[in-house]
Structure 1
């Protein structure tokens, strides 16, 4: 028997039709799916149509393993010195892991600090490390990172073409300045996804293995496009830059009154505590002042002497920006108080570029 391979052209007496439900190449088709291609050959002998010849071929789609990792925000995540991984204001970065494989797979997740001095993706160079790095996967119960809900540490059984949100959380050290940055790289590695509830094992390239290491009946080969992928995001510090200046002025004494008064016993001294937050800084919140005069030869001045200056009311001891020259107007204060010789006051929030002042008076013993 002689076997010949012929190229069929339009003038041939024999025609062939390839008839199949699926195309011969199916990008994205799920691993393990069978693709069957049917062929029918019609021909004649002496001008008489003969019984058509048919055949088919079936192959199993192999497993393409691929993924994408990307940071999710397109900008650095602003944090403050001392911010932690815990509630109510956790410090975290957000990433997206996409399963570009044609099968359900697991993903192992790891996070690494950038090297000091390395350029971060969005703001300057890396100059500090986050402590206590942890990785959690979005549960879907409540959108956004929720420490009590998002507790999974690997991606389990992610469907093909699906994605998962991953959070890298940690503690931000104290003592950092505005603009300091820390880059964190998240890496996801593909693992077998045959069994839910636990991280699968490794796939072997071009091997027909399942999670238990045995050959599978479907004869599916494993082909890595990428076995792992990573992306980097960074924290950037937004800190308050607070400074304080304390000054005093003699307002009155029992000999000279308010005309060129001296700091003699019985004199009234006004103290001004000015708190400034530098321009470009984060707002300083809950700014509280405590000034202890209990061990000094001073007494808190709550009642004006008969010929002395007016008393500063206890509920109005805060003045607005740069009032320490005595020309400012008293602001609505949350309270100037004294207990046991300790003067206290709450300036509330001090915005970037602002100065807030606390005034109180004392008499010289």
Structure 2
């Protein structure tokens, strides 16, 4: 009932061909009797045979297939996701053991030249086909016959400029069901032994024998790839200065006279859609004839055009973060007279404004 498996070349995906419905559930008892009718001296008579009984065995089969195509990624991207589906074509409720393979693929698929890091397998918990923090299962538990579950391969892309394509294969193995609290053991086939009456024998029906797999072994697999599609982004920095007060006029029409406070504004924009710039480091030297105002670095302020009109959240001169979850840090090096702000991610959706202040000597 199963089809064949195929291997892929650059930019494509491989999977098994889906078989038909799983059929009568394993463990079902099928009974039958025979009847005979006859006459004796003109009187109708009948006889009933004994009951013939057998138990339906387990026809173990599965389909593993890509969900969508390859995933475009950028260099250094974290938690990049490949999506697959695993379908239970067995005539019973089964668990599935899941594992990834990278090492066997290098040099086999055209263009494959790097491996991803921190590779993980996660099962979709709510059927939305989207990887979220709520998805934590690492195996498929109690999947009914003819039902499908989405599986994510999640990994980090290394920061290698030469990287182009990383192919990853999801391998699923049919395991015993029946316990919702634990992963079942891998099934063992009884297909080459004599049929046992009253016992559910296991017969592997996965007739897929493509690259890396054998027919009738209880395994299925499919391959997708991470493709490096963007090596740079259109990142720009706009810098402006605004006199915000002076010792004569205060904040009313201030002028750039000695003693005046000047706010420098740096606005970082990423014009490349869907590709974030990561680990953006802003550095700015304090100009001659000015003095840095201690603890004046802020980030996340409101900008109008290329100028900051409102300061953001303060950053510590010693290298502290705005919020622990943001990862944004700022610091001031008094020896080098340099301001530094580090922003983990800048997307095309929102520019980031940073500012600091100096006093005119």
TM-score for both structures, normalised by structure 2: 0.56
Confirm whether residue 219 of structure 1 aligns to residue 199 of structure 2. yes
1:334 and 1:115, CA in 2 relative to 1: closer, same or farther beyond 3 A?
farther
Q: 2:176 aligns with which of 172, 175, 192?
A: 192
CA deviation map 1:190-246 (0-9, x unaligned): 1222434233244242489xxxxxx9993222111121100011112243256999x
RMSD between superposed Cα atoms in Å: 5.2
Deviation at 1:183, TM superposition (A): 0.9
Distance 1:169 1:98 in 2: 20
Question: Which structure 1 segments of 5+ residues have no match?
Answer: 1-25, 85-89, 209-214, 246-272, 301-317, 321-329, 352-365
> Does the aligned pair in 2 maintain the 1:194–1:200 contact within 8 Å?
no
Distance 1:203 1:343 in 2: 65
Confirm whether residue 61 of structure 1 aligns to residue 56 of structure 2. yes
Match of 2:141 in 1: 156
- Bigger-Rg structure (1/2): 1
Q: 1:146 aligns with which of 132, 151, 155?
A: 132
Match of 2:243 in 1: none
1:288 and 1:350, CA in 2 relative to 1: closer, same or farther beyond 3 A?
farther
Deviation at 1:182, TM superposition (A): 1.0
Distance 1:42 1:129 in 2: 74
1:51 and 1:202, CA in 2 relative to 1: closer, same or farther beyond 3 A?
same
Greater shift, 90-99 or 191-200, is seen at: 191-200
Q: 2:109 aligns with which of 119, 126, 151?
A: 119
> Does the aligned pair in 1 maintain the 2:167–2:224 contact within 8 Å?
yes
> Does the aligned pair in 1 maintain the 2:129–2:150 contact within 8 Å?
no
> Does the aligned pair in 2 maintain the 1:97–1:165 contact within 8 Å?
yes
1:344 and 1:27, CA in 2 relative to 1: closer, same or farther beyond 3 A?
closer
> Does the aligned pair in 2 maintain the 1:241–1:281 contact within 8 Å?
no
The count of residues paired between Structure 1 and Structure 2 equals 274
Match of 1:136 in 2: 122
Match of 2:23 in 1: 28
Q: How does 1:1-365 map to 2 (within 5 A)?
A: 28-43=23-38, 48=42, 50-55=44-49, 56-72=51-67, 74-84=68-78, 90-113=79-102, 115-119=105-109, 125-140=111-126, 144-147=130-133, 149-176=134-161, 180-196=164-180, 197-206=182-191, 218-226=198-206, 227-239=218-230, 240-241=232-233, 282=275, 284=277, 289-292=282-285, 342=338
TM-score for both structures, normalised by structure 1: 0.55
Distance 1:91 1:101 in 2: 31
Point out which structure has higher relative CO (alpha carbons under 8 A, 6+ apart).
2
> Does the aligned pair in 1 maintain the 2:22–2:146 contact within 8 Å?
no
Distance 1:95 1:129 in 2: 19
